[in-house]
Amino acid sequence: MLSLTKKSEDQHGAESLWHTDFRNLERLPDTKVVRTTFFVNTASVAVTLALLLWTGYREYHIRTLDNQIDESQGQIDANIKQNREALRLSQVFAGEEKKLREAEDFVRAPITLSEFVELLGVTLPKEVSIEYADARLADIKNQVFILRGLVAGTRDQASGSASSYVDALRANPRLSSIFDPIVLEKLNPDGSTALLAFEISLKVKQGGKK
């Protein structure tokens, strides 16, 4: 009796420990206190918010830079207008200053143009004609009067007449007191006529009489 009872109890215990597991673990509910999906969703929301904040900051930074660029471009445009106006006024001033200096040089000239023309008329021989007269007074240290004209006669006669005319200019007391040297610079045949074309320079003396 004892042996049979022990055997039957052992068999009953062995049968109770063995059974088939029909559970579907994937479909069973999550019974943990804090579910895994909570952490996943929280991380996703945090990443999304971070990306939104970063994007917003980038947009704000870009907009700020655009505003700064627009302000700088406006200042540049305004400065360009002012600079152009300043350059225009500077050119006008330079032109007026040049005119003023020319007027001052003309006033400081050792001889007036009217007196110079009168002296040319006194010294001019009949075979010589003056076609051009120029007073270059801009350089106070190198003031020069230029005469250009034609000489009639044969080449030898015209050459002699031109030289004689230069000697006459040098011999004039008034001209010799103002100009030195008086030089025959050019004497060439004139292409349009059978005459000789000449050029005479009369350089103003430094410290000469006015």
**What pLDDT digit, counting tens, does each position of 97-141 carry?**
777 776 666 566 677 888 888 888 888 888 888 888 888 877 777
Q: Are residues 117 and 199 in the same domain?
A: yes
Assign residue 148 the CATH number of its domain.
3.30.70.2830
Q: Do residues 138 and 105 touch, judged by C-beta distance below 8 A?
A: yes
Least confident of 85-89, 129-133, 154-158, 206-210: 206-210
Q: Are residues 103 and 166 in the same domain?
A: no
Q: Are residues 141 and 80 in the same domain?
A: no
pLDDT at residue 156 tops 60:
yes
Q: Are residues 132 and 61 in the same domain?
A: no
Task: Provide, rounded to the nearest whole percent, the portion of the chain with pLDDT above 70.
Answer: 76
Q: Are residues 90 and 121 in the same domain?
A: no
pLDDT in tens, 10-43: 555 545 555 666 666 666 665 555 556 666 778 8
pLDDT in tens, 43-63: 888 888 888 888 888 888 898
Does 20 map to a domain? no
Task: Provide the pLDDT for residue 210.
Answer: 43
Is pLDDT larger for residue 106 or for residue 92? 92
CA 41 to chain centre: 62
Does 5 map to a domain? no
Q: Are residues 94 and 117 in the same domain?
A: no
Q: Which of 107, 136, 159 is the last residue of a domain?
A: 107
Task: Provide the pLDDT for residue 72.
Answer: 86
Does 186 map to a domain? yes
Q: Are residues 99 and 123 in the same domain?
A: no
Q: What are phi and psi of 31, to 5 degrees?
A: -95, 10
Alpha-carbon span 89 to 35, nearest angstrom: 81
Task: Provide the pLDDT for residue 58.
Answer: 87
Q: Which of 80, 107, 134 is the last residue of a domain?
A: 107
Nearest to 174 by CA among 125, 129, 107, 110: 110
Q: Which of 107, 124, 158 is the last residue of a domain?
A: 107
Q: What residue numbers bound the domain in which 103 lies? A: 32-107
Does 124 map to a domain? yes
Looking at the 3D structure of the chain, how many domains does it have? 2
Does 15 map to a domain? no
Is pLDDT larger for residue 208 or for residue 179? 179
Q: Are residues 128 and 190 in the same domain?
A: yes
